[in-house]
Structures are given as C-alpha cells and as structure tokens.
Amino acid sequence: MDGTWEPEQVTIPVTTIRIAIDVDDDAVTLRSTSPIGFTVADLLHQLHATFRRSLAESDHHFFEGLELDDETTPPLYIMSVGS
C-alpha cells in the first residue's frame, strides 16, 4: 500500500490462501468473499476474526504484514506480528 486507504482494492488476486504466524505453525485457510480475490478490507477483517483470540495474550500481537512463503496452490503467507 502507498499510504492511501482503498478498502475495495484487490490485494491478493486468488480466492483461497493459507496463513501461518510462523513457518513452523499450522496454516489456516482463508477464502475470499469476492470471486476475484481478497480485497484489503476483506483480508484485514478475516485476519482479525481468525487470529485475534490467539494473539490477544501474546507479547507480539500487532499486525505488521504478510510475506509470501510458498506459491503452491493455495499460496502460503507468513503473518508478521510485533509488539
């Protein structure tokens, strides 16, 4: 993102992805609500709904971004979190 908030912008152009907090963690599968992929708003909403409870008590619980780790189908993203 370039600093502007565009919630309907498609940020990941696939309909299914896997997310893990650490490379060694089990990945969670997310499915977009749009047939063209994940919008910024959809992705952030799903990340919050999926991980908020597990990160609430962690020292590292602020979302810092996603990094593509594996491009197989569905692609695997590692979520960076900080304190």
The answer to whether position 3 is within a domain reads: no
In a domain, 4, yes or no: no
Q: How many domains does the chain have?
A: 1
Predicted confidence (pLDDT) per residue in 22-53, tens digit: 777 789 999 999 999 999 999 999 998 998 88
| Domain, as residue range, for 57 | 10-82
Q: pTM above 0.75?
A: yes
Residue 54 lies in a domain: yes
> For 47-71, how does the pLDDT look when each residue is reduced to its tens digit (9 = 90+)?
989 988 877 676 655 678 899 999 9
Over 80: is that where the pLDDT of 4 sits? yes
Q: What backbone torsions phi and psi does residue 30 show, to the nearest 5 degrees?
A: -115, 145
Beta strand pairing status for 16-20 and 76-82? Answer: parallel
Residue 24 forms part of a structural domain:
yes
Q: Following CA atoms 68, 71, 72, 73 in sequence, which dihedral angle do they give, to the nearest 10 degrees?
A: 80
Residue 71 is assigned to a structural domain of this protein: yes
2 in any annotated domain:
no
